Structure 1
Amino acid sequence: MIGLTNATVRFGSRTILDGLTFAAARGRSLAILGPNGRGKTTALRAMLGFQPLNSGIRTAPSIVGYVPQYASSNQSYGVLDVVVMGRAAGLGLFGQPTPADIAAANAALDQVGATRFAGERFDRLSGGERQLVLLARALATGSDVLVLDEPGSALDLHNQQRLLTLLDDLRQQRDRAIVFTTHDPNHALAAADDALLMMPEGEALFGPVEETILPHHLERLYGVAMRMVDLSAADGAIHRCVLPAFAGRRAA
């Protein structure tokens, strides 16, 4: 499990988080949504232990698989080396990767469909490819908690679909807690069990996706009219999605 209980964070005279409580249990996936400046990143950093709390309780395991929002492209490490870095916590200060560590890294690359990159340099991959490698690194930690900071923000629609499909596959295995931040409620519909909506007035709404990712809640969250629609997939399945009022072109 990972989460915060009655957490408060202040920056000077400004209160960013005020008694915030939420958690992702093992076997559940949580999406955190909110407008710019509301505190999504602060909540994520506090949950990870990067941001001290003024009050409240943080609950987290000693090792968390973390995928940052942006992956630097100026690191000339090999892809396999980057993924093996996820095993660092178990190696000690001067430890060297063992065959078991290499095997775990290769298994993680295979799990995210990135085995073909194993022999390449990390800085020569595209943004979407680097994101997959960092997800493999997070999985290689062996932690049962996976945290991703806006994983789809820099990805095109095709790579967003790949990432969300992978996150949903991981969710359905029910063997870890998954937390990710996003600006797109459709990401929550695609890959989350629960959602935390950080309302602009300071309130937070936490609960199952079916009860939180609804037009009237999202209109309060973003100040934009929303509509829920059903789309038919190529395989005949029906997918629920959310459209803002500005989507599409106005009729002449």
Structure 2
Amino acid sequence: MISLTHAFVKFGTRDVLRDVSFSVVQGRTLAILGPNGRGKTTALRALLGQQRLSGGSVTAPEIVGYVPQTINLAHPYRAIDVVVMGSAAHRGWLSQPGRGDRDKAAAAMRRTGVSHLVDSSFDRLSGGEKQMVLLARALATGSRALILDEPTAALDLRNQINLLSLLTELRREEGHAIIFTTHDPNHALSIADEAVLMMPDGKTLTGPVDTVILPETLEALYDVSMRVGSLAGDETSRRIVVPKFMPELQRLPS
């Protein structure tokens, strides 16, 4: 399990997190939503042990697969070398990666669809390519806990679908516990079991996505009028959320 319990974080006199609690067990996915500056990344950093809590507690495995929004590397590493870094937590400070580490890295790159980038310089990749390489690095840790900070932000539509589909597979087939932040409520509706909304009054609204991601809660969250509709698929339909400033979508069936 990975969780925050009554977590507080202060930056000076400002409460960035105030009494935040949520938990995710293996085989479940949680999405965190909220406008910029509301504390989403701070919550993730607290889970990773990178942000000290002013109060409360955190529970997390010793090793967590983490996909940040961005990463700056001083050396022009090959993509495969960046992925191999994911296994560093299993080795001593002075040890070198072995054949097994490189095999795991290659397998992770195949899983995320970036095998063709093995020998490419990481710093020359597009933002979307970097993001998929970093996801491969997270998988190479071998951890069943994954934390992703706005993982689809730099991805085109096809790669967004690929990433969300992969996260669903990891949850269903391999029992990963997954936490991700997003600005798109539809991503939460598509793959998450629970959601956390970082509300403007500093409080959080937490619960199953179907009971938390509603027009009234999203309007309070983003100060934008919203509408929930449905899209019919081949066998089932699913809920979607659209802002009301998109008049061409207002005729979606509720």
Shorter-normalised TM-score: what interval?
Answer: over 0.9
CA distance in 1, matches of 2:12, 2:6: 19
Q: Using a 3 Å threshold, how does the CA distance of structure 1 residues 174 and 199 change in structure 2: closer, same or farther? A: farther
Q: Which residue of 1 aligns with 2:115?
A: 115
TM-score after normalising by structure 1: 0.93
Q: Which residue of 2 aligns with 1:218?
A: 218
Q: Which residue of 1 aligns with 2:69?
A: 69
Deviations along 1:178-228, whole A, 9 cap, x unmatched?
A: 000111101101221110011111221111111111112111111111111
CA distance in 2, matches of 1:16, 1:24: 21
Q: Which residue of 2 aligns with 1:244?
A: 243
CA distance in 2, matches of 1:27, 1:118: 30
Three-state SS of the structure 1 residue aligned to 2:3 is strand
2:131, 2:154 within 8 Å by CA — same for their partners in 1? no
Three-state SS of the structure 2 residue aligned to 1:9 is strand
Structure 2 unaligned residues grouped into runs of 5+: none
1:194, 1:206 within 8 Å by CA — same for their partners in 2? yes
Structure 1 unaligned residues grouped into runs of 5+: none
2:230, 2:238 within 8 Å by CA — same for their partners in 1? yes
Displacement of 1:140 in angstroms is 0.3
CA distance in 2, matches of 1:238, 1:208: 18
Q: Using a 3 Å threshold, how does the CA distance of structure 1 residues 38 and 137 change in structure 2: closer, same or farther? A: same
CA distance in 2, matches of 1:89, 1:206: 32
Segments of 4+ in structure 1 off by > 3 A?
71-75, 248-251
Three-state SS of the structure 2 residue aligned to 1:52 is coil
CA distance in 1, matches of 2:124, 2:116: 13
TM-score after normalising by structure 2: 0.92
Q: Using a 3 Å threshold, how does the CA distance of structure 1 residues 121 and 237 change in structure 2: closer, same or farther? A: farther
CA distance in 1, matches of 2:179, 2:123: 26
Three-state SS of the structure 1 residue aligned to 2:96 is coil
CA distance in 2, matches of 1:13, 1:127: 35
1:28, 1:174 within 8 Å by CA — same for their partners in 2? no
| Structure 1 range deviating more: 241-250 or 216-225 | 241-250
Displacement of 1:54 in angstroms is 0.8
Deviations along 1:103-134, whole A, 9 cap, x unmatched?
A: 11111111112222222221222211111110
Corresponding position: 1:193 with 2:193: yes
CA distance in 2, matches of 1:186, 1:76: 36
CA RMSD of aligned residues (A): 1.9
1:128, 1:154 within 8 Å by CA — same for their partners in 2? yes
Task: Report how many aligned residue pairs link the two structures.
Answer: 250
Q: How does 1:4-153 map to 2 (within 5 A)?
A: 4-72=4-72, 75-153=75-153
Q: Using a 3 Å threshold, how does the CA distance of structure 1 residues 174 and 213 change in structure 2: closer, same or farther? A: farther
1:46, 1:58 within 8 Å by CA — same for their partners in 2? yes
CA distance in 1, matches of 2:58, 2:119: 39
Three-state SS of the structure 2 residue aligned to 1:76 is coil
Q: Using a 3 Å threshold, how does the CA distance of structure 1 residues 166 and 74 change in structure 2: closer, same or farther? A: farther
